Chain A
């Protein structure tokens, strides 16, 4: 089945650091990938839609300069949390959709980001 790999699974770093999270589709090509944020005991909140070869589309209230998204190939999207602060600590999850017709989104295993 479709596999999405997300790396790293856990990051602990100091305030002010920039952190990059990778999302890869391993056995399919994805023109569109999605980045979500999830707080404890809550549902997934869409942050942005990453489109291969073009600019990402951000949801209302999400700072594009804070959360930089790059989707340089059909199998890789990256999310960089710039100058991270403790309030950015969260569980970040990516998903990808197969470019060949409509398929359900498949999710990565998430990245637990902790900013000290």
Chain B
């Protein structure tokens, strides 16, 4: 079935550093979503991408929908302590269900 491979699995960075994480698939997705989940809470939508090649920003976050429609990346610039959490990529499957990547755990050292 369709799968999303997300990397890296975890990151431990210094405050102020930039962060990059990506998601790849062997199959095509028509939509890419990036969510952030903080401990004890549900995922919150950060960025939604609907078109191949699309580059979208949300504050310090930037995400791109790969031209091949098989990958996407999320960048966070000038990280701050509140960026800590788990970041998930997700995309709707052929049946409409949402498929999630394994998540990238981000820790930021002040």
Contact = CB atoms under 8 A, between A and B. Distances in A.
Contacts of A6: 42
Interface string B19-48: 000000000000101010000111111001
Nearest to B44: A107
A110 to B, nearest CB: 5
A79 to B, nearest CB: 14
A104 B45 CA distance: 8
Question: Interface size bucket, B side?
Answer: 10 to 19
Contacts of B35: 107
Given A34-B97, A43-B102, A104-B45, 13 more contacts: A42-B102, A42-B103, A44-B43, A44-B88, A46-B98, A93-B42, A95-B98, A104-B31, A105-B98, A106-B45, A107-B35, A107-B43, A112-B40
Interface of B: 31, 33, 35, 40-45, 48, 88, 97-98, 100-103, 105
28 contacts: A34-B97, A34-B98, A41-B105, A42-B102, A42-B103, A43-B100, A43-B101, A43-B102, A43-B103, A44-B43, A44-B88, A44-B100, A46-B97, A49-B97, A93-B42, A93-B43, A102-B31, A104-B31, A104-B48, A105-B45, A105-B98, A106-B45, A107-B43, A109-B41, A110-B40, A110-B41, A110-B42, A112-B40
